[in-house]
Amino acid sequence: MERYLDLMLIRFGILAGGLVMLALVVFAVAVALKRRGRLDQARRYADPALRAALRAAARRLEDGPARPRQRDGRR
């Protein structure tokens, strides 16, 4: 049991470290874009993709739990 808990703790540490690294990279990119004066341009490019992703996520939440797909790809 102790070995399992150790593995779970290591897995959590790796996930947490990965999320921290991802956040640092995103922050560094945002700072670099702001210093070059291109943050507004990046926002204009990212805005339509973000809105589409949010609409798709909202649609998935409204549909309820996922149902298994049929063999021909229909739901």
- What letter represents residue 69's amino acid? R
Measure the CA–CA gap between 27 and 66, rounded to whole angstroms: 34
- The pLDDT of residue 66 is 65
CB 39 within 8 A of CB 33: yes
Number of structural domains in the chain: 1
pLDDT of residue 40: 87
For residue 31, tell me if it sits in a domain: yes
CA-to-CA distance for 27 and 39, rounded, in angstroms?
A: 12
pLDDT the model gives residue 1: 86
- Structural domain containing residue 16: 2-63
Per-residue pLDDT of the chain (75 residues; tens, 9 = 90+): 899 999 999 999 999 999 999 999 999 999 999 999 998 898 898 899 999 999 999 999 888 766 666 666 565
* Domain-located, residue 73: no
pLDDT of residue 63: 84
The CA-based diameter of the chain, rounded to the nearest angstrom, is 54
Domain-located, residue 69: no
Residue 41 lies in a domain: yes
Residue 70 counted as domain residue = no
Q: Is residue 75 part of a domain?
A: no
Taking the whole predicted model, whether its pTM rises above 0.75 is answered as no
